[in-house]
Every structure is written in C-alpha cells, then in structure tokens.
Amino acid sequence: MSARSGPPLGFAEAFDLPLSVDLRTAARAFGVCPGTAYRLIRLGAFPCPVLRMGRRYRIPTALLLRSLGIEERPVYAADLRAGAGYAARFDDNHPHGTEDPS
C-alpha cells in the first residue's frame, strides 16, 4: 500500500461513510493502493461493483460493506435517542389516531 492512500479503514470509520465513496476510500477499505484498485477495475476483478461517473469511479457504501462481510450497521444508543426525539416531535405535530379515545 502506498503512503498516499492512508491506513486501512477501521470499523468506526467504515460505519461513518456517506452513501457512496470514491475509489481511493474503497481501496483503503480493502487495504490496497489506488493503483491496484484501478488495475482490478480494468481486469473486472474489483471485489465489489463500481459505478463509473464520467471520468471518476464511485462505490456504493452498502455494496462495499457487504463485500467486506459487514451486512448490518450497528445501532448506537445516541442514534436511538436522536431517533426517539425525532419521532416524539413528529407524533406531537401529527396525531395518527393510536391513542385511546376513552
């Protein structure tokens, strides 16, 4: 791996990726240098599907994680609290008839 590609991605960093990543980031996830990643794409042997966007490559994060053997994203307590807070605000503004009328 070249020094410019950076260290391999850790789990925490992988779970914070956007919906799609550039080829350099995907190469880091697989622990290969970008040159090797480009070569694998040319050979049709990159470990996950790659989208060509003009002159650039994008890799959907869900497919990247699946190729790495990570099928599900972990749920953190902070995410649950944030989601519960959002749901409570939504329920206060939009009653949906689930309350007991008696």
Cα radius of gyration rounded to whole Å, the chain:
20
* pLDDT attached to residue 3: 45
47, 67 in Cβ contact below 8 A? yes
Q: What value does the mean pLDDT take over residues 2-10?
A: 66
pLDDT digits (tens, 9 = 90+) for 19-71: 899 999 999 999 999 999 999 999 999 999 999 999 999 999 999 989 988 87
Closest by CA to 47, choosing from 33, 62, 27, is: 27
